[in-house]
């Protein structure tokens, strides 16, 4: 190993992909048991490694020196070998600070709530203090280590202005969970979530609904990786490096989610997009049919629309948990606001529009099998589609032409 990451479970790590932007040398993921950590470090067969849960404290006794930042936080996430010595530092604090700056969160003179009391919360505490916060409180279920409970936070600290989540609440595969009700904190200006999988947790989406600046942990992960690579190599990267990698990785990881009327061409355009981009396609109507074991008209006839919508929500949760796909949704997928939230966790919603006279009723669409039903549906749903969409594309002469426009605008 030249460069890499050690931890206990690394299946969902994005670190190798980020470091591929930072150098040509291989970057490997190596899962270790607690008993293997000391031997791995003492063999020293690496130039630089990152360290993740649960070894950020465990590695410290085996190092020849650590930075002042790492000492104050009590955790090391980056180790470099220099002149035969192992030197450790902590770049998580740098990453969190860059994340807060990225969303425009000025902590100077502000009241900050940090959710959680684990290792990342100590990083957040250090960062908030370095950024001159007026008051910093950690929040936990049990009020351990001097923290306040979630109930106390809502009752006595509703004037908090900055919220930083360092708990795993909302992490894959429980992306629908949210650690707090944001209505309890009416003065919030910014929310930063250390979780990067999904790209946008429910905490982040709920904050954005309220007009609060909010971002997930991918920016933090990217920024700390750039700083770690600089520590490994003894060199500085241009200031714009973090932003460029973050944008590229977001485009790569986000799902392209096609929404719109029945008959607007979502499945056909999805197939064309797949040919252009190489991304896999998830067709939610097809997934529903597979789950139910019967065609959609039969689901409506035998069990009713409510059962169909419940199946649809379940399918959307499953497919939205994955990254880098094209998702072709059914015409009614965004009727439930919860479905929109689900799709936005890892995706960007693209409204595919087609002229009203070109929307053709078909027998396999129970709610749009006549011209009258189709027109009524279009008038009812158009405002909902527009509210949900983050990009709108008018269907072109061919699916390929439409797909090329989507891909071009996706890269902007």
The residue among 333, 281, 294, 293 whose CA lies nearest residue 312 is 333
Q: How many CA atoms lie within 13 A of 117 on its CB side?
A: 14
Give catalytic status of residue 56 as yes or no: yes
Active-site residue identified among 56, 110, 111, 253: 56
Which run of H or E residues covers position 297?
A: helix 296-303
Nearest Cα to 90, choosing from 111, 106, 107, 75? 75
Cα gap 159→110, rounded to integer Å: 10
CA pair distance 344, 201, nearest whole angstrom: 9
140 pairs with which residues across the strands?
none
Residues 322, 175 contacting (CB under 8 angstroms): no
Torsion region of 224: left, alpha or beta (phi above 0 gives left; psi -120 to 50 gives alpha): alpha
Question: Who's near 109: CB < 8 A, 6+ residues apart?
Answer: 132, 133, 134
| Among 369, 303, 332, CA closest to 294 | 303
Question: First CA to last CA across the chain, in angstroms?
Answer: 36
Residue 270 has a CB neighbour count (10 Å cut-off) of 25
The residue assigned the tokens 């797909």 is 403
Name the token pair of 92: 């998580």
- What is the helix (H) or strand (E) element at residue 175, kind and residue range? none
Q: Give the other-Cβ count within 10 Å of 317's Cβ.
A: 17
Q: Which residue has the tokens 């549906």?
A: 377
Tokens coding 294:
């019967």
CA 396 to each of CA 102, 328, 331: distance values in angstroms, whole numbers, following the listed order = 37, 17, 19
Residues 6+ apart with CB under 8 A from 143: 149, 152
Contact 114, 164 (CB under 8 A): yes
CA 412 to chain centre: 19
- Tell me the catalytic residues: 56
């Amino acid at each position: 190993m030249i460069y890499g990451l050690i931890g206990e479970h690394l299946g969902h790590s994005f670190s190798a992909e980020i470091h591929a932007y930072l150098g040509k040398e291989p970057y490997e993921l190596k899962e270790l048991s607690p008993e293997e950590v000391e031997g791995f470090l003492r063999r020293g067969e690496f130039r630089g490694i990152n360290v993740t849960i649960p070894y950020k404290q465990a590695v410290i006794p085996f190092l020849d020196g650590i930075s002042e930042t790492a000492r104050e936080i009590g955790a090391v996430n980056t180790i470099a070998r220099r002149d035969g010595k192992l030197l450790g530092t902590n770049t998580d604090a740098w990453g969190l600070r860059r994340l807060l700056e990225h969303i425009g969160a000025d902590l100077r003179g502000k009241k900050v709530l940090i959710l959680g009391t684990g290792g990342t919360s100590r990083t957040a505490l250090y960062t908030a203090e370095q950024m001159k916060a007026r008051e910093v409180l950690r929040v936990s279920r049990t009020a351990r280590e001097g923290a306040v409970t979630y109930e106390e936070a809502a009752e006595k600290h509703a004037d908090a202005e900055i919220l930083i989540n360092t708990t795993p609440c909302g992490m894959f595969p429980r992306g629908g969970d949210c650690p707090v009700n944001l209505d309890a904190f009416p003065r919030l200006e910014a929310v930063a979530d250390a979780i990067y999988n999904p790209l946008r947790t429910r905490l982040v989406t709920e904050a954005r609904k309220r007009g609060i600046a909010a971002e997930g942990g991918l920016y933090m992960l990217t920024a700390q990786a750039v700083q770690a690579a600089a520590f490994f190599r003894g060199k500085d990267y241009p200031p714009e490096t973090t932003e460029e990698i973050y944008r590229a990785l977001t485009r790569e990881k986000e799902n392209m989610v096609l929404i719109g009327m029945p008959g607007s061409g979502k499945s056909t355009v999805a197939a064309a997009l797949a040919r252009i981009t190489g991304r896999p396609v998830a067709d939610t109507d097809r997934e529903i049919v597979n789950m139910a074991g019967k065609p959609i008209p039969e689901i409506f006839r035998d069990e009713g629309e409510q059962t169909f919508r419940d199946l649809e929500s379940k399918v959307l949760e499953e497919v939205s948990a994955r990254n880098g796909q094209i998702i072709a949704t059914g015409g009614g997928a965004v009727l439930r606001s919860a479905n929109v939230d689900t799709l936005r966790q890892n995706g960007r919603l693209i409204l595919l529009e087609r002229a009203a006279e070109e929307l053709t009723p078909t027998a396999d669409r129970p709610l749009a099998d006549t011209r009258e039903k189709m027109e009524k549906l279009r008038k009812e749903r158009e405002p909902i589609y527009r509210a949900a969409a983050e990009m709108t594309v008018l269907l072109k002469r061919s699916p390929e032409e439409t797909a090329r426009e989507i891909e071009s605008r996706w890269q902007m």
